[in-house]
A and B are shown apart, each in its own frame.
Chain A
Amino acid sequence: MRFMLWTPVAIALLLSACGDGAAPGGAGDTEPFASRYAAMPSQPLLLSGATILTGTGERLDDADLLLRDGRIAAIGRDLEARDAERIDAGGLWITPGLIDVHSHLGVYASPGVDAHSDGNEATAPNTAEVWAEHSVWPQDPGFVTALAGGITTLQILPGSANLFGGRSVTIKNVPGRSVMDMKFPGAPHGLKMACGENPKRVYGSRGQSPATRMGNVAGYRKAWTAASNYREKRERAEAGEGDAPDRDLQLDTLAGVLDDEILVHNHCYRADEMAVMLDVAEEFGYRITAFHHAVEAYKIADLLAEHDVCAAVWADWWGFKMEAFDGIRENAALLDAAGACAIVHSDDRFGIQRLNQETAKIIGAAATAGIDIPPERAIRWTTANAARALGILDETGTLEEGKMADVTVWSGNPFSVYTMVERVYIDGALAWDRLDPDGNPVTDFSLGTTTAGGAP
């Protein structure tokens, strides 16, 4: 694993620093735009008698879950905790809070007016210097509807117009006044890269490179060559040999990938292109954490498993462009069956509200192909595997003692279309409650513009 992982101690430092109102500690001293996330207040809570999908592949029936101090304090049967409020969760299902690894909430916010089009810096094929977090509008009503769909963490990415779109940001799905209030403490940055039709169409139509897929690959290699040189120069300077290079924000990002500090999230549809990208990564000594969209991932499931690269896919988007023509519903199931890391993602403000339903489609399709996927296995696609791809699996994504108490409570089996999200907890705090609509968040935009937001 070359993911950047944060120790609980570092996280605790960060959080306590926030709590004291002091400047963010730890890496925050040197890190610009550091997280100012502070968990909402919570009380110890014992959810009892539920069906629990842990995210580790296990299903526990008639089980209890104890949340305390924002963490999962215990999971199992017949738990006792005198200090905790006890909630009868009989008949309910509990899963880790869902994680969407591919969202554009905030950077393509609702309403989708031109003024909110902040996701594609489509001015040059390499814009590795831009950071999606500087486009995130926290008042996007889509955050609230995603919360109602059980989403506790999401990665917001730049768009796919460019070969290098810029840095992504991973956030906790909590209302904030700035993106720093939402940033997942300690989560590594991602780098959005894009294969295929989009970059070559955007720049080819302007008579510039890339205009072809070979142009795309030349563009990647050129950039990685520059980044390798920059990094080498920097390292030599640190060792006292020669001058340090002038700081270059674009090369900083790429060097961060070569240093294993920034995770590559690569938009790529076709199997043959993903295979080429694996070779590009090998040539320059970096790692691709996940292919996104990966409509043809099922054709190279073995290769992805072998390289330990995740594939984040839709259930059924296909045919909207040529490179999506071979999409099949069983994609994630075939990946899973081959031992590869399968993730179900949305890329969509509606899809993010029901990743559980998208998963259900795949479960059903897989069954017709003779592949049985029980709920405890399928839930990993939007929890543990997603957390792994974001470099935050040590902190969230499964219901295990010591992890963040990011929890979604469902009215029943999450893979039934009739099941509703009952409650969502983020770091142990009740963030959303179906039965208490007046207590749920309303963004500034919705306030007074919608009947639900109090408009006359």
Chain B
Amino acid sequence: MIRRFAVATLLALPAMGLADSFAITGARVHTVGPQGTLDDATVVVEDGRIVAVGRDVDVPAGARQIDGSGKIVTPGLFSAIGNLGVTEVNAVDGTVDYVQRGDDFTASFDVADAYNPRSTLIPINRIEGVTRAAILPASSGRPDELGNTSNVISGLGAVVRLAGIDAVTRRRAVLVVNLGESGGRLAGGSRAAALLSLRNAFDDAIDYAAHRDDYASGNRRDYSLSLPDLEALADVFDRRVPLLAYADRASDIRVLLALAGDYELPLIVAGGAEAWLLADELAAANAGVVLSSVNNLPGSFDELNARLDAPVLLETAGVRVSFGMNRNMQDHNARNITQAAGIAVANGMTWEAGLRSITLTPAELFGVAATTGSIAAGKDADLVLWPDDPLELTSYPEQVWIRGEAVPMQSRQTLLRDRYLDAGSAVPPAYRR
């Protein structure tokens, strides 16, 4: 308990609720920015922001000094796909808020409004280094009691900070849609119909945005979407919100590139099992790919060419690659993005690119790189202090800071663990705290 608690009690308690100034000294700092990796470096934090990082940086008078010698500092990790804080127990429907069914709200379904910052998933993931997460709506082909399924358009995703109550840092960060096999199922059969329904919705929204008054006075044609959905999509086109599209098969990704090009929306491919077959086209379109954390099996006919070295094939072609979709456990174990990056490195990616794929790259893809994702003066102090290589699965953070606040290195899981550590106790577990 030892390592984790020693640091936690020294730092976490006084710092909670008040982000003061401190400096981590003597550490190997992976900035994931232009400064690269710095040995024996100092990171200075004031009022929640990084104010300096470098080898020749002085610790300001009055700043607490945290000895990082022999240790590693990285930016906080970014989970690029998931449902943190919008689910508690996946099989308990009442806790699942990322799936919407029926046609009343599709593009306007904003998952951020359901975010629960007190979810048990938050501390469990943040004490392992995850400081930011994209939370996304998802479509389900499983009908509810009324027979409703979800739409090809899932809704709007957001970015959250894994600390504090006012934690949604970017709303309407992406529009989530589904192509391929699952998109086809949602559209009623063919994947071609999924594409059609998207084009139809986009055309309607564009027409609506140009003729709001006519529509209100009943002098415009009927649209395929509800008014809130039209407004939401109008905003997507107005702000050029990225299209995050689930697609695995290369042919679907090619279709998607054309769609994003026609409507001039930035593109993030999610899943992307066969994206490596189109690496050059994706790079040319400046598209991002959020890969399933590990995929090397034909789970479906859309994924026949899934392979373990897909991350390095994409990344060396110039595609921005991230991870976030753990097929079994994309919510509760967002922390396993380090495993995804580690496996990518074992299969050819450079270590630096591996770390970037779970920090700065997703911050860029979701539009929050100005404030997080790397260690640079002016950014939020989302930092992790590791005893050793963060991509090694035996490595657990000693301390995590979110906007300069040391988070308590405690979760429901550490409490359960500690309760049952003392096997010989004569006191019933319920009395042990």
Interface residues of A (CB under 8 A from B): 110-113, 141-142, 145, 197, 298-299, 301-302, 316-322, 325-330, 334, 337-338, 348-351, 353-354, 357, 360-361, 363-365, 367-370, 415-420, 445-446, 449-452, 455
- A–B Cβ pairs within 8 angstroms, 20 of them: A110-B298, A111-B299, A111-B300, A112-B300, A197-B91, A299-B429, A317-B333, A320-B332, A321-B92, A326-B416, A327-B413, A329-B413, A334-B423, A350-B295, A350-B297, A367-B394, A369-B417, A415-B394, A417-B392, A450-B304
B56 CB, min distance to chain A CBs, angstroms: 32
Verify if B329 is at the interface (C-beta below 8 Å from A). yes
Rounded to whole angstroms, the CA-CA distance of A171 and B417 in the bound complex is 35
| Complex: chain B residue closest to A356, CB-CB | B393
Rounded to whole angstroms, the CA-CA distance of A322 and B87 in the bound complex is 12
Choose from B301, B328, B331, B396 the contact partner of A364 (Cβ within 8 Å).
B396
3 A-B pairs with the lowest CB-CB distances in the bound complex, closest first: A417-B342, A364-B394, A321-B91
Which residues of the partner chain A approach B307 to less than 8 Å between Cβ atoms?
Answer: 452
B125 CB, min distance to chain A CBs, angstroms: 11
Verify if B294 is at the interface (C-beta below 8 Å from A). yes
Which residues of the partner chain B approach A370 to less than 8 Å between Cβ atoms?
Answer: 1-2
Rounded to whole angstroms, the CA-CA distance of A298 and B420 in the bound complex is 7
Mark interface residues in B316-334 (1 if CB within 8 Å of A CB, else 0). Answer: 0000000000011101110
A105 CB, min distance to chain B CBs, angstroms: 10
Choose from A298, A337, A338, A420 the contact partner of B346 (Cβ within 8 Å).
A420
Q: Are A368 and B298 in contact (CB under 8 A)?
A: no
Q: Are A321 and B90 in contact (CB under 8 A)?
A: yes
Q: Are A417 and B343 in contact (CB under 8 A)?
A: yes
**Number of residue pairs across A and B with beta carbons under 8 Å?**
146
Interface size of B in residues (CB-CB distance below 8 Å): 51
Q: Are B297 and A142 in contact (CB under 8 A)?
A: yes
Which residues of the partner chain B approach A334 to less than 8 Å between Cβ atoms?
Answer: 417, 420-421, 423
* A interface majority secondary structure: loop
Verify if B18 is at the interface (C-beta below 8 Å from A). no
Known contacts A111-B298, A418-B342; A357 and B393 CB within 8 A of each other: yes
Choose from A142, A298, A320 the contact partner of B329 (Cβ within 8 Å).
A320
Choose from B90, B120, B305, B416 the contact partner of A451 (Cβ within 8 Å).
B305
Known contacts A417-B391, A418-B342; A111 and B4 CB within 8 A of each other: no
Q: Are B346 and A450 in contact (CB under 8 A)?
A: no
Verify if B224 is at the interface (C-beta below 8 Å from A). no
Rounded to whole angstroms, the CA-CA distance of A302 and B429 in the bound complex is 13
Rounded to whole angstroms, the CA-CA distance of A362 and B225 in the bound complex is 49
Q: Are A328 and B417 in contact (CB under 8 A)?
A: yes
Choose from B327, B339, B396, B416 the contact partner of A368 (Cβ within 8 Å).
B396
Rounded to whole angstroms, the CA-CA distance of A416 and B1 in the bound complex is 22
Rounded to whole angstroms, the CA-CA distance of A329 and B304 in the bound complex is 33
Q: Are B89 and A319 in contact (CB under 8 A)?
A: yes
**Most A CB atoms within 10 A — which of B297, B299, B303?**
B297
Which residues of the partner chain B approach A330 to less than 8 Å between Cβ atoms?
Answer: 417
Q: Are A368 and B392 in contact (CB under 8 A)?
A: no
Which residues of the partner chain B approach A450 to less than 8 Å between Cβ atoms?
Answer: 298, 304-305
B377 CB, min distance to chain A CBs, angstroms: 32
| Complex: chain B residue closest to A327, CB-CB | B413
